[in-house]
Amino acid sequence: MAVLTAPDRKSPARMPISGRRVRGPRRTPPLVLAFVLVPLLAEALWVFWPALQGFYLALTKWDGVSPPQFVGLDNFREMAHDDVFRSALGHTVLWLVLFGGLSAVLGLAAALLLQQERRGVGFYRAALFLPVVFSLVATALVWQAIYQPDGVLNRVLDAVGLGSLQHAWLADQDTALYAVIVPALWRQIGYVMVLYLAGLKGIDPALYEAAKVDGASAWQRLRHVTLPQLRSVNAVVLSVIVIDSLRSFDVVWSLTRGGPYHSSELLSTYMYSTAFQSLRLGYGSALAVVIFVLAFGVIASYLVRAFREAD
Amino acid sequence: MANPQTSRRRFLAGLGAAGTAALLSGCVTDTSTGKGSSKGAVTLQSNLSAPQAKTAMEDLVAAYGKQGSGKASLNTIAAETFRTQLPTYLTSANPPDVYTWYPGSVADAYAKKNLLLDLDEVWSSSPDLKRYTKALHSLCTASSGKKVFVPNTYYWWGMFYRKSNFAKWGVSEPTSWDGFLDLCDKLKSKGVAPIGLGAGGNTPWVASAWFDYLDIRINGAQYHRELLAGKHRFDDPEVRKVFDRWQEVLPYFDPNGTALAFQDATTALLGGKTGMMLIGTFFADSAPKSALDDIDFFRFPVIDAKIPLAEEAPVDGYFASARTGRRDQVVDLMKYLATAEAQEIYIKGSSGTVLPCNPDAKDAGTTLVKKGRAHVAEAAEITQFFNRDSSDALQPTADTALTKFLAKPKQIGSILTDWQRDAQKIWNA
């Protein structure tokens, strides 16, 4: 309830003092107030409130059935000595670098390749974007068939004379994580490509003409015109990549469930299995808090920097 | 610009403070004590989402409605969702009334938290339940001494193979551990992977069958149950013996054992790529009907004759929420579910490889099912399965340990230490 009354109480008191803001109606019309407050209340109830609960649960020991016990920072202390947590963190960083880095580079490359308006280019753009439309869980089913011991991948390897490379891709600890990254990349590249395509469209062609007149090579034009012009898009792409990396879950869960023996475990899958399989919801919430802090930290620091530059 | 900002900050601080206050008061996870609604049909929450089993449940509920004493409404949930949501169902203020689930330690864990309805009245008033075996009576009794479960059907685990393939390879069922090793040798020399597994994909738990069986053959069912209840340690020498024995047969395992889910391993078995497979009868659900008559099984070989013969024969059935508002209707439905008629309807609709718990109910009548019934009846002790004899929470620790053992058998020492550490966390949770 504090949510509703707090701003209501404050705004009239403040209005007369703030000299710069007295344009327009003196009081906010009730309709506007309703437009602001009703969604805020809904958001508070369904987003902020459960999020705060999550923070509270991170300080408890809870099996989901009996009432939770408050244990202070014990969960975080346990995390410091948890090998699985450490390897999951390592895998998440590797995921961020490989999945994030490759999807940005390949997405940009695809966008550059497909930015010219030629016949049939729409088809290729659509083809690259299409994976975004599919559910990752459905995608994972197809990839699972590809990775099977007698699946497409192994048959192709055999057919081209690389039979010695045949593998149980998802069941081998050395290949499982990479085998899971590929389907995730396959989807993400199309998405990043579309973001960059939009950015490329916004670049003034006059800049290229000027560069050409000055005798800049294709590489120089890319390096000194295209890339600096894409700075604002980069911010979006970076946020998207960081968030998508940290919440990557569905594809890993449906392909390996973090296995074999935690070798493809990410923080997200470890959080899920701790909370909902081992029923240690307190520790699972603590893991969720760590994920939140990581995601929020990266994005907030980037946004702060971006805003500072904009000023 | 300064003013709106301060006001926003103050507002957020106020919001935060309000939230924290409410959190500290603990209302977040308060377990409510309200009773469910008392009108309308009994809700039956089912995890039997496989097509055949689902239809069988629909038939069952329809038959109950026709019979006139009450009405039930069926709510089928995908098995995985059901499993993760069950604690939520049971603790909610207005829970579904009756659930399909497992007896034994899984049910007892909920009973200890006062979440299950006391079914003593059902057991004392139902003429059917009185005639159920003694083993079932004790299986459905919680540690408090109250009955909390009504069993429906059971199935068995065994070493399944295809008769025509065994004939083609000129081999037959072994009767001892050494005979079993000879059989593996012979199959291997014919270019067949002797033992299929199916612990890949989303079914790593299948590997636990090997652990269970080796443990009940070497250390006995009593020790096995105590181990899973946390009364022994996974790094004890007794457990080590289990894995030493497992190492003897490890070279005969299908190298794709941890890469294929059991459904695919079934296909490999039926296709003659693997010789046999330690599996429960549910695997027949993913086998073509034409192959069913060609399937046979033998007992997991006895290793130590001094140990009382134990078999894995998991029981499925129903329990009810303690918070139901329709207690009388639940009791009536439970009594019906225990009748021979109800179990026959279910067996008829499902794939027909399960056995009824009611001694008067007819099974599907095939040779396989008759053999299975005798197979379980000969056992002196019955175990359920790893997760049912412990908890669903302990299962992932076994999955990790066993898949690692299958990939790196030499590291068994450290694997067992890790397993004990992980299991300890679950037991302490």
Q: Quick one: B148 and B225 in the same domain?
A: no
Quick check: is B26 in a domain?
Answer: no
Percent of chain A scoring above 70 in pLDDT: 91
| Residue B220 lies inside a defined structural domain of this protein | yes
Contacting residues of A for B386, CB less than 8 Å apart: none
Q: What is the pLDDT of residue B99?
A: 93
* Residue A192 vs residues A131, A179, B152: alpha-carbon distances, Å: 12, 21, 53
> Which residues have C-beta within 8 Å of that of residue B44, sequence separation ≥ 6?
B57, B61, B72, B73, B74, B75, B96, B97, B98, B99, B100, B318, B333
What is the rounded distance in angstroms from the CA atom of residue B297 to the CA atom of residue A62?
43
Task: Quote the minimal CA–CA distance from A65 to chain B in Å.
Answer: 6
Q: Is the pLDDT of residue A97 over 50?
A: yes
Mean pLDDT of A60-73: 82
B328-336 mean pLDDT: 89
Give the number of C-alpha atoms closer than 13 A to the C-alpha of residue B233, restricted to the C-beta side: 11
Q: What is the CATH number of the domain that holds B342?
A: 3.40.190.10
Task: Please tell me whether residues B302 and B187 are part of one structural domain.
Answer: yes
Whether residue A26 has pLDDT greater than 80: no
Q: Using pLDDT thresholds of 50, 70 and 90, give the confidence band for residue A20.
A: low
User: Do B31 and A7 count as a contact with CB atoms less than 8 A apart?
Assistant: no
Looking at the domain assignment, is residue B93 inside a domain?
Answer: yes
A68 neighbourhood in chain B, CB within 8 Å: 29
| B315 phi, psi to nearest 5 deg | -100, 135
pLDDT of A152 higher than 90: no
Residues B58 and B171 in one domain: no
Residue B108 and residue B72 in one domain:
yes
Q: What is the pTM of this model?
A: 0.78
Q: What is the pLDDT of residue A25?
A: 54
Report how many domains make up chain B.
2
Is the domain of B59 the same as that of B138?
yes
Under 8 Å CB pairs connecting chains A and B tally to: 121
pLDDT in tens, B163-200: 899 899 988 899 899 999 999 999 999 889 999 998 88
**Residue A203 touches partner B, C-beta closer than 8 Å:** no
Q: How far is B265 from chain A (nearest CA, A)?
A: 11
* Nearest CB to B14 within list A6, A11, A144: A6
- Range with the poorest average pLDDT among A32-36, B249-253, B363-367: B363-367
pLDDT, position B104: 85
- Chain A residues with CB under 8 Å of B14 CB are 2, 6
Asked, for residue B238, whether it belongs to a domain, the answer is yes
Confidence (pLDDT) at B237: 92
Read off the pLDDT band of A311 (50, 70, 90): low
Q: Cβ of A18 and B87 within 8 Å?
A: no
Q: Is residue B25 part of a domain?
A: no
Residue B8 lies in a domain: no
Domain spanning A76-310: which superfamily? MetI-like (1.10.3720.10)
Lowest mean pLDDT among A10-14, A203-207, A238-242: A10-14
Q: Are residues B122 and B63 in the same domain?
A: yes
- Give the mean pLDDT of B231-256: 91
Taking the Cβ of residue A65 and every Cβ of chain B, the question of whether any pair is shorter than 8 Å is answered with yes
Q: State residue B38's pLDDT score.
A: 63
**Is pLDDT at A68 greater than 80 in this prediction?**
yes
A228: contact with B, CB 8 A cutoff = no
Instruction: Among B7, B387, B427, pick the best mutation site for testing chain A contact (most A Cβ within 10 A).
Output: B7
Residue A280's pLDDT band (cuts 50, 70, 90):
confident
pLDDT at B83 over 90: no
- On the question of pLDDT at B17 being above 70, the answer is no
Nearest CA in chain A to B258: A171
Q: Is B19 on the interface with A (CB under 8 A)?
A: yes
Residues from chain A that touch B31, judged by Cβ atoms under 8 A, are 66-67
Lowest mean pLDDT: which of A19-23, A229-233, B414-418?
A19-23
Which residue in A252, A278, A311 has the most chain B C-beta atoms within 10 A of its own C-beta, making it the best mutation to test that interface?
Answer: A278
Residue type, B4: P
pLDDT at B420: 93
Residue A62 has pLDDT above 90, yes or no: no
- pLDDT reading at B378 higher than 90: no
Chain B: closest CA distance from residue A276 (Å): 6
User: B201 is in which domain, residue-wise?
Assistant: 157-312+385-428
Same domain for B178 and B265, yes or no, is yes
Q: Residue B218 corresponds to which tokens in the numbers above?
A: 């070497």
- B293 domain-assigned: yes
Tell whether B352 and B407 lie within a shared domain: no
Residue A1 in this model has a pLDDT that exceeds 60: no
Q: Do B29 and A149 touch (CB under 8 A)?
A: no
User: Which of B 95-124 lie inside 8 A of A, CB atoms?
Assistant: 110, 113, 115
Which among A53, A64, A277 has the least Cβ separation from residue B396?
A: A277
User: Are B287 and B395 members of one domain?
Assistant: yes
pLDDT, tens digit (0-9, with 9 covering 90-100), for B31-61: 444 455 566 788 999 988 777 788 888 989 9
Is the same domain home to B227 and B270? yes
Domain annotation covers residue B379: no
Out of A2-6, A25-29, B213-217, pick the least confident: A2-6
The answer to whether residue B5 scores a pLDDT higher than 70 is: no
Q: Are B179 and B202 in contact (CB under 8 A)?
A: no
Q: Which range in A140-149, B15-24, B418-427 is most confidently predicted, on average pLDDT?
A: B418-427
CB contact (8 A) between residue A65 and residue B7? no
Domain range list for chain A: 76-310
Residue type, B286: S
pLDDT class of A60 with cuts at 50, 70, 90? confident
